[in-house]
C-alpha cells in the first residue's frame, strides 16, 4: 500500500509465549477470549498508511501488503511495546493515597499525573507502582488483514469520524462540496469543546478535499460551530494515535489530575486497542472499538510529583 492512503484493516494480537489474546477487532474473538466489553465497538478500522497510527512493526508490514492480503507478524519488543524500564517502577508514600481517600491494593490501576500504572505491592507505608505497559518486554504476534483501500472522500470522513468518536449511536456526516458537516448525538455534546479543534485539524489533513468543518449542535437545530481557523493543536494522526477520542479526553483530563494526581481506574482486562504508550486502561466513558493495544502508544510522562 502507498504512504498516506487510507485502508480498512482487521487484526488479532496474541502474546507469543502464552498465546493469550490481548487485542482484536473481531467481536467473536473478543468473546471467546474473555476480553469483550459491552460498550466497545468492534469491526474493521481505518488506518492511514505510514502515518504512525499503528505499532511500528504493523505499520511497516502494511506498506508491503496489498488489498485482501493477510499476514501473521511476530513483533519483537522494540517494534511493539518496548522493553521494560526500571525507572517506570516507582515508590509512592502510602499517605499520598490516604490523602486522596484511596486504599491501594495489588492489581489496582491508578492514574498518576496522566500516566497509568498498576499497584504491585503495599508494604511498610510505601506503595510500589509499575508504570510499564503490561506487554513491555514481550514478543507479540498479530494476524492482520488489509481489507481494502478507502478512496472516496465522504467514506473517509465517515470512517474517521467514527474512529474519532467511537459511539454506538453514530454521528451524522455530510460532505457538501468542500465543507464537512457533522451532527453528534447528545452523549458527545459535552466533549465538543475539547475535541473540536483536533478533530477538525485531523480531518483536513487526512482528506485534502475538505477545506472547512462545521459541527452541528444536536441540541440547537441549525446551530453550528466553526473550527476552521484553529490550527495550533497537534492532530491525533500526527501523534500516532490510533484512538483520538481516548487520547484527547485524557489530555484534557491531565489538567484535573494536577489537583488530584492519584485516581483509581476500573481494571478492564488488558489494554484498549486505540490508546498510546502508557497502560491503556480506560474509564467507561472513553471506551472504544475493542480491547487491545495494536495502536501506537506514547511513553508515559514523569510518573509522580508530590507537588502536583
pLDDT for the residue numbered 75 = 96
pTM of the model: 0.67
Q: Looking at the domain that runs over 86-136+243-264, which CATH code has it been given?
A: 3.10.50.40
Distance from C-alpha of 224 to C-alpha of 210, rounded to nearest angstrom: 17
Q: 163-218, pLDDT tens digit by residue?
A: 888 777 788 899 999 999 988 877 666 666 677 788 888 899 899 999 999 887 66
Is the pLDDT score of 249 beyond 50?
Answer: no
Q: Please say whether the beta carbons of 96 and 306 come within 8 A.
A: yes
Q: Please say whether the beta carbons of 44 and 147 come within 8 A.
A: yes
If one compares 100 and 280, the residue with the highest pLDDT of the two is 100
Residue 305 — φ and ψ, nearest 5°?
Answer: -140, 125
The domain limits of the chain are 86-136+243-264
pLDDT for the residue numbered 122 = 96
pLDDT for the residue numbered 217 = 67
pLDDT for the residue numbered 284 = 29
Residue 71's beta-bridge partner residues? Answer: 144
pLDDT for the residue numbered 169 = 77
Mean pLDDT across 256-273: 39
pLDDT for the residue numbered 256 = 30
Q: For residue 299, what are the CA distances in angstroms to 259, 263, 303? A: 22, 19, 11
Is the pLDDT score of 266 beyond 90?
Answer: no
Q: 48-95, pLDDT tens digit by residue?
A: 998 888 999 999 999 999 999 999 999 999 999 999 999 999 999 999
Q: For residue 167, what are the CA distances in angstroms to 41, 96, 207, 285, 306? A: 7, 36, 22, 10, 37
Amino acid at each position: 500500500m502507498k504512504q498516506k492512503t487510507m485502508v480498512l484493516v482487521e487484526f488479532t494480537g496474541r502474546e507469543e509465549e502464552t498465546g493469550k489474546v490481548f487485542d482484536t477487532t473481531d467481536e467473536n474473538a473478543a468473546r471467546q477470549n474473555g476480553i469483550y466489553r459491552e460498550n466497545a465497538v468492534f469491526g474493521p478500522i481505518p488506518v492511514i498508511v505510514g502515518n504512525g497510527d499503528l505499532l511500528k512493526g504493523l505499520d511497516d508490514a502494511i506498506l508491503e501488503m496489498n488489498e485482501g492480503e493477510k499476514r501473521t507478524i511476530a513483533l519483537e519488543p522494540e517494534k511493539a511495546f518496548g522493553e521494560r524500564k526500571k525507572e517506570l517502577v516507582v515508590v509512592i508514600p502510602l499517605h499520598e493515597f490516604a490523602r486522596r481517600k484511596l486504599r491501594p491494593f495489588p492489581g489496582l490501576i491508578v492514574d498518576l499525573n496522566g500516566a497509568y500504572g498498576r499497584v504491585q505491592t503495599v508494604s511498610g507505608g510505601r506503595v510500589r507502582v509499575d508504570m510499564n505497559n503490561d506487554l513491555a518486554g514481550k514478543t507479540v504476534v498479530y494476524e492482520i488483514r488489509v481489507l481494502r483501500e478507502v478512496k472516496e472522500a465522504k467514506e473517509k470522513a465517515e470512517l474517521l469520524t467514527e474512529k474519532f468518536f467511537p459511539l454506538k449511536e453514530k454521528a451524522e456526516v455530510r460532505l457538501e462540496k468542500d465543507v464537512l458537516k457533522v451532527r453528534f448525538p447528545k452523549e458527545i455534546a459535552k466533549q465538543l469543546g475539547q475535541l473540536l479543534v483536533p478533530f477538525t485539524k485531523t480531518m483536513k489533513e487526512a482528506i485534502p478535499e475538505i477545506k472547512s468543518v462545521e459541527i452541528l449542535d444536536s441540541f440547537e437545530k441549525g446551530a453550528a460551530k466553526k473550527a476552521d481557523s484553529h490550527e495550533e493543536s497537534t492532530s491525533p494522526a500526527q501523534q500516532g494515535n490510533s484512538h483520538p477520542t481516548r487520547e484527547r479526553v485524557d489530555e484534557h483530563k491531565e489538567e484535573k489530575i494536577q489537583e488530584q494526581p492519584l485516581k483509581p481506574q476500573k481494571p478492564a482486562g488488558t489494554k484498549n486497542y486505540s490508546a498510546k504508550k502508557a497502560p491503556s486502561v480506560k474509564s467507561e466513558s472513553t471506551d472504544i472499538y475493542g480491547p487491545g493495544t495494536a495502536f501506537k502508544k506514547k511513553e508515559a510522562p514523569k510518573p509522580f510529583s508530590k507537588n502536583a
